[in-house]
Chain A
Amino acid sequence: MDLPAQLAVAATPLAALWLARAGSDAVCPDLPATRAALAAVPIAALELAPPLARRIEGFGLRRLGDVLALPRASLGARLGKPFVIDLARALGEVADPQIGFVFPEHFEQSLELPAPVEAAPVLLFAARRLIAALAGWLAARNAAVRTIDCLIDHGHGRTTGVPLAFSAPVHAAARIERVLKERLDALSLSAPALALRLCARETEVREDRSHALFDGAGQRHEALAELMDRLAARLGPQAVQGLACHADHRPELASRAGPEKPALKASLPSVPSRPLWLVEPPEALRELHGRPQRAGPLVLLAGPERIESGWWDGGDARRDYFVAVDSGQRWLWIFRDPRPPGGWFLHGWFA
């Protein structure tokens, strides 16, 4: 782009601007020095509105020093109040508060690719720059994000969205990059990519702890969260699950994927033995001479335990559960449906 930069230092912001525009390298640490330096600034450097500039030129004034030598009141009458106020601001006679830089609320940056990209994994190299910018933006705000939108622009208004979701707020570039890599590896582009855009809208306050010197549980859980994010990015969010108890007597509803809600923890009283594995849907078993069969007759060891629930939500269940052992000494959890047409079902394994 070849843009030159010109610095100037003055006691007021406006004077510094004018001095810079005039191409002066002046360093004016106080007001008298600023006033002296301003005297040499040509009127053209002020970049005034053309009618006003012509007017001043018509008076035969070439430099700011000529203007400052004239009485201020009559200047105001002839050239208008705003100009006189500007003069006063430059000379430090009137306060000149500046609007501070406001950091952008949302992160949104895009990057034009130097050449169309056909393979999605290659986009990672371009994305690295955007991720580094995002990480910088997050660091400046002391924030972290749970979701990031990555948009691949194919031109002609067509885009492919690659939303990234994290199990915990993230702020580290490396971690975002690893998850994006898994998503890009699995992606095949419908059309060559021309540009890449990264957006982060909702941020959370970063919860940074100082790490313990000798490895703590925090680091371990961070590593686990990172692993889960990567697995979910490649296998799909449904493939990675937590486990939680749910207060329901129907076994298929007593267990849920996802984080445990502490409030529900104590709500189920200690139940009789339950199998570690649940066969879902229950496997129908043959019945011979009134005994359930699965590779030979099953021996019932304990039961029945009647579970009857769910008449209110359409999932009405009435079952008699038994602990059974088969000929291979495998422990099964089976139930009999007491309602017609009845029958025996395998519902779990005591593994």
Chain B
Amino acid sequence: MNPSLAQVLERSDIRRGDAFAVAPAPTFATGFARLDAELPGGGWPRGALTELLAEHEGIGELGLLLPALAALTAAGQPVVLIAPPHGAHAPAWAAAGIRLDCLRLVFPNRPRDALWAAVEALRCGGVAATLLWLDALFRAQLPANSLRRLQVAAGEGGGGAFFFRPSRLAAAASPAPLRLQLQAQGGSLRVTILKRRGPPARQAILLDVARPAGFLQSVPHAVAGAALPDTTGSRRRSRVAA
């Protein structure tokens, strides 16, 4: 008897177009159930480059990673930030549940050093997640083979690798197996999966990433913190603005 179609389809080297790969790569949970459901393996990939193409800075692009980073650091796993765009504000990171003693920030001055540091951090088996911001240092002239180098290094290290890039590069070719485009939409983060190992994603997901407390969408103007009496002028101004 011929092997049935079902038996053939069970082979690990056959992937059907409408399903994720049979044996997905190791992952860790994103902390957003709706996003986990859309990602192969149900979470952020380990040992593979993830590109996060944010439309702007300050739309909650880091908020997307915070739950996963908090879980990693809570387990004592180190997280390394390479060439972050600004200085990190410790109280905010601590408030997001991240263990600060597991966090390391690297500020290279030269683009070449930044790429080297990124590759070293990705290759290091001890780093659970590496966050990269390289395009600003390279003035958007990232050498053509560097993405490939980063992807290979991530594969060697086996940790999470998150590369924050400007969204105008969405159309550019990339060896990263997972590419997400991030846009702001009314206080939420709109995540479009540009590329994943599996069938193309049909629609974008809206995620409620961490936004400043005290703000509710129904009440656009919420006063946080105690103001001293002589700030009435500025309070009135803010109400006008809102």
Contact = CB atoms under 8 A, between A and B. Distances in A.
A302 B223 contact: yes
Contacts of A278: 86-89
Contacts of A128: none
Contacts of A235: 106-109, 113, 117
Contact of B86 (A227, A328, A349): A349
Interface in B211-231: 211-215, 220-228, 230-231
B100 A268 contact: no
B227 A277 contact: no
B58 A350 contact: yes
Contacts of B55: 328
Residue of B87, B92, B124, B225 with highest tally of chain A CB at under 10 A: B92
Given A302-B212, A302-B214, A221 B89 contact: no
Contacts of B197: none
Contacts of B88: 243, 255, 276-278
Contact of A330 (B57, B93, B109, B116): B57
A280 interface: yes
B184 A330 contact: yes
Contacts of B185: 329
B121 interface: yes
A274 B91 contact: yes
Contacts of A219: 126
Nearest to B124: A227
A161 interface: no
Nearest to A298: B241
Contacts of B125: 220, 223
A300 B230 CA distance: 18
A274 B95 contact: yes
A275 B113 contact: no
A272 interface: yes
A330 B90 contact: no
B148 interface: no
Interface in A262-287: 268, 270-280
A308 interface: yes
A228 interface: yes
Task: Bin chain B's interface residue count.
Answer: 35 or more
Contacts of A18: none
B101 interface: yes
A224 interface: yes
A266 to B, nearest CB: 11
B140 interface: no
A272 B187 CA distance: 18
Interface string A245-275: 1100001001111011000000010111111
Interface string B43-56: 00000000000011
Given A320-B234, A322-B238, A351-B63, A227 B126 contact: yes
B100 A217 contact: no
A299 B242 contact: yes
A231 B225 contact: no
B124 A243 contact: no
A275 B63 CA distance: 11
A338 interface: yes
Interface of A: 217, 219-224, 226-228, 230-231, 234-235, 238-246, 251, 254-257, 259-260, 268, 270-280, 290-291, 297-306, 308, 320-323, 328-333, 336, 338, 348-351
Interface of B: 55-63, 76-78, 80, 84-96, 100-101, 103-109, 113, 116-117, 120-121, 124-128, 184-187, 211-215, 220-228, 230-231, 234-235, 237-238, 240-242
16 contacts: A220-B76, A220-B128, A241-B106, A260-B100, A274-B89, A276-B88, A276-B96, A278-B86, A280-B86, A300-B237, A304-B235, A305-B225, A308-B228, A331-B60, A338-B230, A350-B60
Given A238-B107, A290-B240, A351-B62, 6 more contacts: A226-B126, A240-B104, A255-B87, A303-B235, A329-B59, A329-B187
